[in-house]
Chains A and B, each alone.
Chain A
Amino acid sequence: MSVVPVRTEALSKVFYDESRGEVRAVDSVDITCSPGEIFGLLGANGAGKTTTLRMLSTVLRPTSGQAWLMGHEVRDAPERVRENLGFYSASTALYPKITPRETLRFFARVNRYPRRRIEARVDELIERFSLESYADTRVEKLSGGMKQKVSIARTVAHDPPVLIFDEPTVALDVLNAIELREIIARLRSEGKAILFSTHVMSEAEQLCDRIGIIHHGAILATGTLDQLREATGRHYLEEVFVHYAGMRGKIGT
């Protein structure tokens, strides 16, 4: 039986804030993601997307529930989880003083990519992401678009089966955002399981195979775009989102 690349069961995170007391940032989240699939986490700012993805990447420890990446539980085997994971977000920057080639070499090595194949892998990534002309220039001297490419190459340097993109287009201009989405689509076609969080509805519509609508830390609905449309009777994802978020609001009151 093949392993589901990403699976969570009642995954929850509670923070303690001195002024607000206990804050339930993520509430019993159940999601899965299969090979060659992009699962989109769609939610407003502060909905719990980043906290969920940070728990999956072992940066945060779940308060309760469980999560597995390639069969490894995030609390029991965090290093094994990270070995199988490439994490990209607007806050995962590159080291400015080293070159793209050194960056790729470092991340492949530290993520335990087979040593004898590292140089070949670095060359392959440089060619694949068209980094040749600046592969040996320090990152600090590169443009935003160049850095973005190096950053994605860094994310996949150790060829992980699972990729997490946490609001990756948030700081990008239109052209770079389009290019990034194309790269992510290519990675899906290579069989990667991809978790993609965004608050931009059009992005989720274009890219995601399945969408989970997250609001106030809880998943309100999960399905393909067609399934969500059918369930709500709304055509546009924005309307679908408002429908679920509104329902939750009414339940809450």
Chain B
Amino acid sequence: MELRQIWTLYVHELRSALRERSIVVFSIIIPLVLYPGLLWAGLAAFSFVEGQAERIALEVGVHGLPDRHQSLLDTLDVADRLSAQEWVGSSEEGREEISRGGLDVLVEFVPPDDEGGALEHNFRLRITYHGARDRSRTAREAVESVVDSYREGWIDEARQELGVDAAVWADFRVIQDDLTTAEEGTRFLLGLMVPFLTLIVVALATFYPAIDATAGERERGTWETLMTVAAPRANVATAKYLYVATLGAVGGLLNMIALTLSLRWIFQPVLGAEGQDMIQGGIPLGAFPIIAAGTVLLGLFVAAGMLIFAVFARNFKEGQSMVTPFYIAVILPAIFLQSPDIEFTTALALAPVVNVALLIREAIMGSIPPLQSALTLGSMAVCVALSVVFAQWVMRREEVLVGSQRGGLGGFLRRRVRGRRREA
């Protein structure tokens, strides 16, 4: 393998690509600007919609209200966003009204059970709501909060009647203490966002270059020109592969840097000016080498996969349809990684793509488990090597070279097997 020739071919691919608007947009502009921008826009829109929704009063009906608890109705009515009035219809009619959307929540006083009845004026409440309706769910939460406070006040009155000391009573309260620092909170947010977006960005950043380097060459008529140069096919394949992988890895790294730098700005719509102090720091510097290694390996692996699928395409349209299933397969794990409960086990450290995403998450959180990290980097390196060998083998086949192959990778493999059988 002649490194100088590979370099010549690689620089040539890169030069052409960096003058192609769509590649620059998908591999550089989007990771750098669009995703942080989209996140900001998404959160701003969310914040706006929430603000609009907060202006709409939530209708609460109170049914069977005893005289002793009249003040609950007043408390509900003055509570933020709630508009409460006594429901004069039957319980059944109230349910029907909720189903129709005219009422959000029905609060019903029902007789206490036997033990509860021992205390005078004790009460039980049934809150009826519509779980599939956002307004109704929100109203239920607001009503619950008001009822909890009211209940506490009522219990406090009962305590006084029973002569229980307030200090003793207070001991039963649950005290919560969150040890999370602003830095840790920021890392938690980055740990959720960065792996998810890295997968998407690497897949997207390799998608167009992979098609451009194969089907694009055929469509432009430059494929045969390239096949007649004095470079071994392996050198051509290696240069194309390195070019696609470079854009994938660069896209992933740019996205990570852009997210870190713009995190305060992204969350500004939901946190407001006062909440900005909650965003502190970013990805720990010590984690960068392992994150960079993981992203580069991810770029190398995804690039090989994309090329394997794209090389059979005779034009851009075919290329898009052939590569899309692999693209989806790459970004699919991102959906499951949104749960912070997923543990980075040794088994998951052997699962390609998922392992890199989890490694990035752990590194951002500040804990780099040595065994899982070694397994991730090792297994990804093996996957990269195997996929590169396979990609080179595919790209050396005559039917792939001259574009006489019909169909994608599946059809190619089936024909190879049939050809072997014929020869046998």
Contacts and interface: CB of A to CB of B under 8 A. Distances in A.
A and B: bona fide binding partners: yes
Contacts of B193: none
Interface string B15-37: 11001100000000000000000
Given A92-B221, A109-B8, A112-B230, A60 B398 contact: yes
Interface string B47-67: 000000000000000000000
Interface stretch (A32-40, A79-87, A173-181, A195-203): A79-87
Interface string A78-117: 1110110101010111111110001000110111100000
A148 interface: no
A111 B229 contact: yes
A91 B232 CA distance: 20
A209 to B, nearest CB: 24
B9 A82 contact: no
Contacts of B16: 95, 97-98
Interface string B139-152: 00000000000000
Residue among B229, B402, B419, B422 with the most chain A CB within 10 A?
B229
A7 B221 CA distance: 28
B12 interface: yes
B224 A92 contact: yes
B228 A82 contact: yes
User: How many B residues are at the interface, by size bracket?
Assistant: 20 to 34
A215 interface: no
A109 B6 CA distance: 11
Contact of A97 (B19, B221, B231, B422): B19
B422 to A, nearest CB: 8
Contacts of A85: 228
A54 interface: yes
Contact of B225 (A79, A94, A102, A158): A94
Interface string B212-226: 000000001110110
Nearest to B223: A91
A61 B402 CA distance: 11
Interface string B189-232: 00000000000000000000000000000001110110111111
B222 A94 contact: yes
Contacts of B230: 79-80, 82-83, 110-112, 158
B401 interface: yes
B228 A57 contact: yes
A60 B402 CA distance: 8
Interface in B312-352: none
Contacts of B83: none
A106 B15 CA distance: 11
Nearest to A83: B230
Contact of A54 (B20, B222, B225, B402): B402
Interface string A38-82: 000000000000000010011111000000000000000011101
B214 to A, nearest CB: 15
A98 B224 contact: no
B75 interface: no
A93 B398 contact: no
B227 A93 contact: no
A95 B5 contact: no
Given A79-B232, A92-B224, A93-B225, A98 B9 contact: no
B198 to A, nearest CB: 28
A57 to B, nearest CB: 5
B221 A93 contact: yes
A234 B16 CA distance: 52
A110 B228 contact: no
Contacts of A89: 224
Contacts of B222: 92-95
Interface string A20-33: 00000000000000
B255 to A, nearest CB: 25
B398 A61 contact: yes
Contacts of A79: 230-232
A54 B404 CA distance: 13
Residue among A78, A83, A95 with the most chain B CB within 10 A?
A95
A98 B15 contact: yes
B19 A107 contact: no
B9 A110 contact: yes
A224 to B, nearest CB: 29
A76 to B, nearest CB: 13
A59 B231 contact: no
Given A59-B224, A95-B222, A110 B229 contact: yes
A11 to B, nearest CB: 16
Nearest to B16: A97
Nearest to A58: B228
A93 B220 contact: yes
A174 to B, nearest CB: 22
A91 B224 contact: yes
Residue among A15, A60, A93 with the most chain B CB within 10 A?
A93
A230 B312 CA distance: 49
Contacts of A112: 5, 230
Given A93-B222, A97-B20, A87 B228 contact: yes
21 contacts: A54-B402, A58-B228, A59-B224, A59-B227, A61-B398, A79-B232, A91-B221, A91-B224, A93-B220, A94-B222, A94-B225, A96-B220, A97-B19, A102-B15, A106-B8, A107-B229, A110-B229, A110-B231, A111-B229, A112-B5, A158-B230
Interface of A: 15-16, 54, 57-61, 78-80, 82-83, 85, 87, 89, 91-98, 102, 106-107, 109-112, 138, 154, 158
Given A97-B20, A110-B9, 18 more contacts: A59-B227, A60-B402, A61-B398, A79-B230, A79-B232, A82-B230, A82-B231, A92-B222, A92-B225, A93-B220, A93-B222, A94-B222, A95-B222, A106-B8, A109-B8, A110-B12, A112-B5, A158-B230
Please list the 5 inter-chain residue pairs (A to B) with the smallest Cβ-Cβ separation, ordered nearest first: A93-B221, A83-B230, A87-B228, A97-B19, A92-B225
